[in-house]
Amino acid sequence: MNIPICREIMIDVTNYCNLSCPLCPNGKIRKKEKIAHKNMSFETFQNFVCGLKIIPELFVFGNKCEPLLNKSVFEMIKLVNSKNSIFTLMFTNFNLIDTFLIDDIFNSGIKQFIIGLDGIDQNSYTQYRKGGDFDRVLNSIKKIQEYKKNNNLQFPVLSIMFIVFKHNEHLIEKAKTLFEALDVRIDFKRTDLYDGCEQWLPEKFTKNIIIEEKNTEQTSSFCILPWRKATIDVDGNVFPCCADEALEFKFGNVFETSFDKIWNGSELNNLRLFLKNKINDVKVPCINCPVYKNNGYTDVANI
């Protein structure tokens, strides 16, 4: 099998979040298993990044946690950006961005923040983003945009990811007006179908549901993530995607083995062979995954 090029590394440099969103599967696991807050040290991160032979195009901070809880995060981003032509991006709730110096944020070279924010004021925002402070986030957004304008800078781009629920779907147009006036992109997405989500689901808005959008006819398509992306948790464990919420299927550990070996190793290759229907007697996280059940994201017969 041809070894694919890893295009994206997504990493958690902490295992915690400052908010308590009711449907967040990671928050539920943290609570159930009483997991203590832990950060990845800069030195550990540096060893990993400096040992990388595969340089991805995209390096994403924040998968299941809030990256701004790690005080070294912008130093880490700066290190990644010292490697050529990498796009660095962070998924964040942005509540803690004002605990960092603005110069450190800009000097890190980060290209984009995708901010989870689904309201237009404190009341609508905290119905889901429990523990969040809407005005604090909005003020930080304004401050970053102003700094960019004053210094004629294009990056970092700020984007809002507005999850549409029953309680906020009537606010879509108001949210567009609010953020477009600040020159901030806003995307709308319905919540994923987590356990207990029924009471939260919007009545009219149905965008971005893989299950509903897929053609039900059999096609030659399958999930392409293990060809493109690797996900790494705070302990260095590697996963092919974020669908394995229980973090049961680990494909190696970058603190023990080089990432290149893991990416090119037999376990990830077996997952790729499984997804191409070439083998079936392997343990994989895909069996109950909606992406797998619906024949993947796209037609990738040429992989």
Residue found under tokens 């049961």: 248
Q: Is 135 left (phi over 0), alpha (psi -120 to 50) or beta?
A: alpha
Residues that bind ligand SF4 (CB under 6 A): 17, 19-21, 24, 26-27, 65-66, 93, 116, 223, 225-226, 240-241, 243, 285-286, 289, 291-292
* 15 vs 72 by CB, closer to ligand SF4: 15
**Least Å distance between CB 84 and ligand SF4?**
29
Which residue has 């906020």 as its token pair?
168
Amino acid, res. 272: R
Q: Which is nearer to ligand SF4, 156 or 240 (CB)?
A: 240
**Phi first, then psi: what are they for 116, rounded to 5°?**
-80, 105
- Supply the minimum distance, in Å, between the C-beta of residue 47 and ligand SF4: 26
State which residue, 153 or 211, has the beta carbon closest to ligand SF4: 211
Q: How far is the CB of 227 from ligand SF4 (least distance, A)?
A: 10
CB of 294 to ligand SF4, least distance (A): 9
Pairing of strands 87-92, 112-116: parallel
Give 106: exposed, middle or buried? Use CB within 10 Å, 0-12, 13-18, 19+. Answer: middle
CA pair distance 273, 114, nearest whole angstrom: 33
Q: Which is nearer to ligand SF4, 144 or 286 (CB)?
A: 286
Given the complex with ligand SF4, which of 72 and 270 has the nearer CB atom?
270
Closest approach, Cβ 50 to ligand SF4, in A, equals 28
* Size of the chain in residues: 303
> Nearest approach, Cβ of 120 to ligand SF4 (angstroms)?
18
**In whole angstroms, what is the distance from residue 128 CA to residue 143 CA?**
25
CB of 127 to ligand SF4, least distance (A): 13
Nearer to ligand SF4, 9 or 65 (CB): 65
Residue 105 CA to residue 108 CA, distance in Å, equals: 5
H or E segment to which residue 91 belongs: strand 87-92
Q: How far apart are the C-alpha atoms of 209 and 31, rounded to whole Å?
A: 27
Q: Is residue 44 helix, strand or coil?
A: helix
- How many Cβ atoms are within 10 Å of 195's Cβ, its own excluded? 9
Closer to ligand SF4 by Cβ: residue 20 or 253: 20
